[in-house]
Amino acid sequence: MGNTINGGEFESVIQADTVNLVNPRRHVRPWGLPPRSLFVGRTDLLREVMAAEGVVLLAGLGGIGKTALAVEAAHRMADRFPGGVLFVDLHGYDNARLSPEQALDALLAALGQEHPLTGFAAKQQRYRSLLAALPGPALIIPDNAATPDQVSALLPGDPRHLVLATSRHLLTDRVLTPRHLPVDVLPESVALLTELAGPSEHHSALADLCGHLPLALRIAAALLTERSPAELIADLTDAQERLTELDYGPDLAIRAAFDLSYRHLSAPEARLFALLGQNPGPDIGLPAAAALADCPERETARLLRLLARAHLVVIEQKRYRMHDLVRLYAAELPSDRAAFHRLLEHFKAYMLDTFRSGDHRSQAVIRWQDQEERNLLAVARSAAQEARYSDALLMLSAVHDVLLRHRRLTELVTISELAVETACRLDDPRFTSEAHYRLGFALAENGQCAEAEAALHRSLALDRERANQEHQVSVLVALSAVQLRLGRTESGRLHLREALRLGPTAVNDGTVVALVNASQLAVDTDPGLARQLCREACRVTAGRGDQAERMALRGLGRILLKLREFTAAVAPLQASVALSRELGEAYQEGVTVELLGRAFAELGDDTSALDCVRQAEALLRESDPDRAGTLRSLIAAVEGAAQGATGTR
């Protein structure tokens, strides 16, 4: 007799002709995936997730959209996982946190395990056995993990399966070595707001106020059912109230989302996090952070790395910054109120030390100023609010130097006006005179000569009241340059001669600029005075090796070219070229090399002249393409003429 059994595999068989059974344990595809929500953007990151294998961790700030991304990716690639999808919310950051064993219990139940098992090891072995028995690969999503063990307990032994975990932390241990995929703010923020709330011209500004954080954007869209976009923008513009406004109940609140991350920090991490909220600037370097925290740099760096792992701090090129909303949250936390004063003293000490040592014009200090510009301005504003006006002016002087160096003249005028306002509060004629002088200089550089003349007259009057002869020289030179530009030649020449009669010019970049400008303006009416001014500029900058010396040397060379003293012009122009090269100023080098070429051409040295023009064209190609194009035409014409002359011979 033949025996046929349909319906499964069994250990005990009853002798019979034909037995047909329905096996209640036949595999049922587990499907624990939550429904997908509205999803916009992140095309490249989605593609990367869907192409991944093994173990992947989506890590990022709370509210950044990690779970939404994981769920969207799972829905899109569900066909790749005939073994099913297992999803478990580990509640890593709230009071309902699952232990690794509790997470195993949840997934064992999803896989059909009916009888309870005792012991973690037994549960883990059964879990892996059930996964290995699945007819195809499965997708396992441990969502919202806080520690590595929450995820490592759920790793399958079968390489067919994909684990896609999410966390606010970077997670790694001896067992868990995932591929980390960082989830950042949403570039398509306006598109998300449009999908959620309909089109509006205000969405770009609203997205900026939300810091492009998906949770904040969804809250804003919900709030738009109650308020107009303009009203909501007005409410969110108040930084001190922004987190309070971004609240639409327990599940849609920015402050509540960040609370979960903050509660997970150790005491030292939490202290530094709160102190970083006292930094008024957009980012911070390690020395400044250490001053803020009153901790050694090594310990501060370690804590900053831990905050970065929690995605509460972002590290970029050895600088540390916070997301805008995170910074507002940190600023609300109780912390050491003396922290800002330590930060201010740190910047102040650095600047004063470099002045005392004479290093304040070094390339290292210039790089520091460029790097700290926005922080210095923020610290200056905060210092002024606390009536530390002289410290605020010191910070603003560094910002002034940066803006002048980079020719950001409109900003230079604004900062100079702020300095005048701050100096007037200090009620000290020395500071007020200097502030008016810097404002006058900034206005002149920006082409506002009438306003510049008024500011410089105010500075000069204060100096004469105090008989401050040294500062008068700088003001007189700047004033003369403005008056010459306004066509008041006689007044300008009188002020120049008064400046030269009073004594040596202060070694001041602004004064050097004014001397050179005045010399160029005076050369047609008083060549001797123009030459004297440039030689004075070269004298006071000699040996500095900085931009001011480079400027003075080129100014002298330019004056000598105008006076047709071509042989004398070569040396200062060559020295200016060498300084530009040393300072890494390609544009300035190109401009000066072109002038040097003119000198050689006038001297009949056509080979050297053409070589200079070629160098100038190469140096100006990126920074001044129009000028470079003119020089290329000149080179072609000269070379064509030379070839024609050769052919004729």
Q: What burial class does residue 358 get, using C-beta atoms within 10 Å of its C-beta: 0-12 exposed, 13-18 middle, 19+ buried?
A: exposed
Residue 168 resides in a domain = yes
Whether residues 98 and 207 fall in one domain? no
Whether residues 125 and 244 fall in one domain? no
Residue 322 resides in a domain = no
Whether residues 169 and 224 fall in one domain? no
Alpha-carbon radius of gyration of the chain: 35
pLDDT the model gives residue 560: 92
Nearest to 469 by CA among 439, 433, 442: 433
Residue 480 resides in a domain = no
Residue 21 resides in a domain = no
Whether residues 197 and 254 fall in one domain? yes
pLDDT the model gives residue 510: 62
Q: Which two tokens stand for residue 239?
A: 């930084």
Q: In what order do the strands lie in the sheet with 319-321?
A: 283-285, 319-321, 314-316
Whether residues 166 and 202 fall in one domain? no
CATH number of residue 159's parent domain: 3.40.50.300
Whether residues 149 and 70 fall in one domain? yes
Whether residues 164 and 63 fall in one domain? yes
Q: Which two tokens stand for residue 101?
A: 């064993």
Q: Which of 163, 182, 201 is the last residue of a domain?
A: 182
pLDDT the model gives residue 140: 93
pLDDT the model gives residue 62: 93
Whether residues 206 and 144 fall in one domain? no
Q: Which of 146, 163, 182 is the last residue of a domain?
A: 182
In DSSP terms, which residues pair with 179 in a beta bridge?
A: 56
Residue 515 and residue 521: Cα distance in Å, rounded?
A: 10
pLDDT the model gives residue 37: 86
pLDDT the model gives residue 361: 65
**Average pLDDT by stretches of 10, the chain with 649 residues:** 47 44 52 86 93 92 93 92 91 89 90 83 90 90 93 90 94 88 94 93 94 95 92 93 91 91 94 95 94 95 95 92 94 90 92 76 81 92 92 92 87 94 90 93 91 94 84 85 84 80 60 73 74 80 83 90 92 94 88 92 90 92 84 80 53
Whether residues 174 and 229 fall in one domain? no
Q: Which of 119, 152, 182 is the last residue of a domain?
A: 182
pLDDT the model gives residue 504: 56
Residue 632 resides in a domain = no
Torsion, Cα 544 546 550 553, to 10 degrees, reads -10
pLDDT the model gives residue 177: 86
Nearest to 254 by CA among 79, 529, 63: 63
pLDDT the model gives residue 302: 96
Whether residues 95 and 111 fall in one domain? yes
Torsion, Cα 545 550 555 561, to 10 degrees, reads 100
Residue 500 and residue 452: Cα distance in Å, rounded?
A: 21
Q: Which two tokens stand for residue 456?
A: 């410089």
Residue 5 and residue 7: Cα distance in Å, rounded?
A: 7
Residue 584 and residue 449: Cα distance in Å, rounded?
A: 31
Residue 29 resides in a domain = no
Q: What are phi and psi of 506, to 5 degrees?
A: -65, 140
pLDDT the model gives residue 508: 59
Whether residues 178 and 51 fall in one domain? yes
Q: What burial class does residue 499 get, using C-beta atoms within 10 Å of its C-beta: 0-12 exposed, 13-18 middle, 19+ buried?
A: buried
Residue 633 and residue 592: Cα distance in Å, rounded?
A: 19
Note down the domain range covering 198. Answer: 188-258
Residue 63 resides in a domain = yes
Q: In what order do the strands lie in the sheet with 55-59?
A: 84-89, 138-143, 162-167, 55-59, 179-182
Q: How many domains does the chain have?
A: 2
Residue 68 resides in a domain = yes
pLDDT the model gives residue 33: 84
3-state secondary structure at position 366: helix
Q: With the C-alpha atoms ordered 124, 128, 130, 131, is the resulting torsion angle positive or negative?
A: positive
Establish how many alpha carbons lie within 13 A of residue 315's alpha carbon, considering only the half-sphere containing its beta carbon: 13
Whether residues 139 and 78 fall in one domain? yes
